[in-house]
Amino acid sequence: MIAFLDHLGKPLGSLSARVATFACLALFVAWLGASAAHATGRFEGVATCAGSTCHGRAEGNGKVVRQDELRRWQEPSSPSGAHSRAFAVLSGQRAQQIAATLGLGAAASASACLGCHATNTPVGLRGDRYQAGDGVGCETCHGASTGWLASHYTVLGTHAANVSQGLVPLENPAVRAAVCLDCHYGSDKPGQFVTHRMMAAGHPRISFELDLFSSLQQHHDEDADYAARKGRTDSLRLWAVGQAEAVQRSLSLFSRPAFSSQGLFPEFTFYDCHSCHRQIFDVAQRHLTFETNPGRPIPFAAPPFNDENMIMLSAVARVLAPGQAASFDSAARNFHGAMGIGRPQTLAAAARLSAAASGLSRALAGGSYSGDSAFTVIAAISGRAISPRFTDYTGSAQAVMAVDTLLNALVRQGRITVGAAAGIRANINRAYASVKDPNGYDPGTFRSALGEAARSIEVLR
């Protein structure tokens, strides 16, 4: 279920926090002066928490809290350090491939990625030490620290007082769930949603369970002191509340128009993946089971309309109704493209495409064809303009039937002898074999079999 083993052996994330060793006391004094100006919580950056007398100790021997939280957050080879690596992974090959496929530019500066792979905050709320390179820093979960930074290490300070200054009460299961789900499911805040397209482009699936993931990233001790301040963690309750919050989160996003659809289609992220995909290869090395199709300008990983007859009609129009071929092709492309926009646009484009097909139907019905026409249509089907459009089983099966039909027509017209047709039967059969098993279909194998069949017919012209 969980991919955390994947993280083993990853290089360290941004270590800007590591070098910061200024003392808490100095910070405290500086803070007293500054805090009035920072009444609305700003994100002060991991370095602000990382002083050696704060949370940056080498050993977890602090009196109240361990004080080596930074070290655990940066743990290079375990899930507990995943958040400090979250920004660095955006410069890796997998992230770059995702961003390039979706036209997002560099992943490390794409807002669609930074919402979850860095501390997600508007520029105006960034303090001097804020760095995107910190990844998911302390304040991402514990809250922007301007308000509570000074008070939270005073002897007389209370948890309740800190919370009133903006510290997030993460010991509360529903509050914690809401924080984690922003990234471990999604939210309506900027850049916090993993679309189906991102997953198709190579993003791992998001899998989450509140209690388990809490222990995987735990950087505190639940000792008597903690229990006295915040109460003991009840795992059953944490788990159960996590489930309830996840149900609500998915439904609230699903109900928003901005998330629920992708052009004509629903956003597939919300659906059970394996109802459409019997196999998914959720590995670092992306494994696409489809090819993009030059005749269909649809969004990446959107379902293509079954265009088997459009492809054939496009081929035949080139040869037998050349005056209408280009407008039919452009109507077909517009129809596919409209599916990325919405239903009204798709219906309008469908009406135009239907009118173009109807014009072709009339023109083709009225024509009379010379003996060479069938040869030319076969050549068009397997030619450079049409052949790249054979990326799917149905269109390809249609093409083999067309070639066989047209070959028989040539025999009936006496253009080809029965013996000559029998002589190239093996090539036609190879084309049939390449569409025999829909589950074994491979576009490349099909296109070369089709090409050979067509060339052997051309030789008989």
Residues 6+ apart with CB under 8 A from 340: 262, 263, 264, 297, 298, 299, 302
Question: Is residue 277 within the footprint of ligand HEC (CB under 6 A)?
Answer: yes
Question: Is residue 148 within the footprint of ligand HEC (CB under 6 A)?
Answer: no
> For the chain, how far is it from start to end, CA to CA, in angstroms?
59
Beta carbon of residue 384, minimum distance to ligand HEC (angstroms, whole number):
23
Nearer CB in complex with ligand HEC: 277/362: 277
Question: Is residue 46 within the footprint of ligand HEC (CB under 6 A)?
Answer: yes
Q: CA-to-CA distance for 295 and 307, rounded, in angstroms?
A: 9
The number of residues making up the chain comes to 461
Q: CA-to-CA distance for 386 and 325, rounded, in angstroms?
A: 12
Nearer CB in complex with ligand HEC: 25/422: 25
Question: Is residue 269 within the footprint of ligand HEC (CB under 6 A)?
Answer: yes
Question: Is residue 207 within the footprint of ligand HEC (CB under 6 A)?
Answer: yes
Tokens of 450: 């089709």
Near ligand HEC by CB under 6 A: residue from 29, 290, 306, 367: 290
Neighbours of 165 (CB within 10 A): 20
Nearer CB in complex with ligand HEC: 99/374: 99
Question: Is residue 204 within the footprint of ligand HEC (CB under 6 A)?
Answer: yes
Nearer CB in complex with ligand HEC: 183/399: 183
Which one, of 410, 321, 329, 332, lies nearest residue 366 by Cα? Answer: 321
Question: Is residue 315 within the footprint of ligand HEC (CB under 6 A)?
Answer: no
Question: Is residue 145 within the footprint of ligand HEC (CB under 6 A)?
Answer: no
Question: Is residue 49 within the footprint of ligand HEC (CB under 6 A)?
Answer: yes
Question: Is residue 363 within the footprint of ligand HEC (CB under 6 A)?
Answer: no
Q: CA-to-CA distance for 334 and 54, rounded, in angstroms?
A: 61
Interaction mask 410-449, ligand HEC, x per CB under 6 A:
----------------------------------------
Question: Is residue 336 within the footprint of ligand HEC (CB under 6 A)?
Answer: no
351 φ/ψ sector (left φ>0, alpha ψ -120 to 50, else beta): alpha
Neighbours of 364 (CB within 10 A): 15
Cα distances (angstroms) measured from residue 157 to each of 29, 43, 151, 152, 385: 16, 21, 6, 6, 74
Near ligand HEC by CB under 6 A: residue from 12, 15, 34, 170: 170
Burial letters 218-251, b for 16+ CB under 10 A, else e: ebeeeeeebeeeeeebeeeebeebbeebbeebee
Which one, of 89, 76, 22, 10, lies nearest residue 49 by Cα? Answer: 22
CB 121 within 8 A of CB 137: no
Beta carbon of residue 298, minimum distance to ligand HEC (angstroms, whole number):
9
Beta carbon of residue 266, minimum distance to ligand HEC (angstroms, whole number):
7
Question: Is residue 95 within the footprint of ligand HEC (CB under 6 A)?
Answer: yes
Beta carbon of residue 253, minimum distance to ligand HEC (angstroms, whole number):
10
Beta carbon of residue 342, minimum distance to ligand HEC (angstroms, whole number):
17
Tokens of 145: 């620290």
Identify which range of 124-132, 218-226, 320-328, 371-379 contacts ligand HEC by CB under 6 A: 218-226
CB 52 within 8 A of CB 21: yes
Nearer CB in complex with ligand HEC: 55/389: 55
CB 234 within 8 A of CB 130: no
Question: Is residue 107 within the footprint of ligand HEC (CB under 6 A)?
Answer: yes
Residues 6+ apart with CB under 8 A from 170: 141, 142, 176, 179
Tokens of 232: 């003991």
Beta carbon of residue 257, minimum distance to ligand HEC (angstroms, whole number):
18
Beta carbon of residue 272, minimum distance to ligand HEC (angstroms, whole number):
6
Q: How many residues of this chain interact with ligand HEC, rule: CB under 6 A?
A: 84
Question: Is residue 238 within the footprint of ligand HEC (CB under 6 A)?
Answer: no
Q: CA-to-CA distance for 131 and 84, rounded, in angstroms?
A: 12
Question: Is residue 298 within the footprint of ligand HEC (CB under 6 A)?
Answer: no
CB 209 within 8 A of CB 141: no
Nearer CB in complex with ligand HEC: 3/125: 3
Residues 122-141 that bind ligand HEC (CB under 6 A): 136-138, 140-141
Near ligand HEC by CB under 6 A: residue from 31, 43, 73, 130: 73
Beta carbon of residue 283, minimum distance to ligand HEC (angstroms, whole number):
10
Residues 174-203 that bind ligand HEC (CB under 6 A): 176, 179-180, 182-184, 186, 191-194, 196, 198-200, 203
CB 331 within 8 A of CB 349: yes
Nearer CB in complex with ligand HEC: 55/318: 55
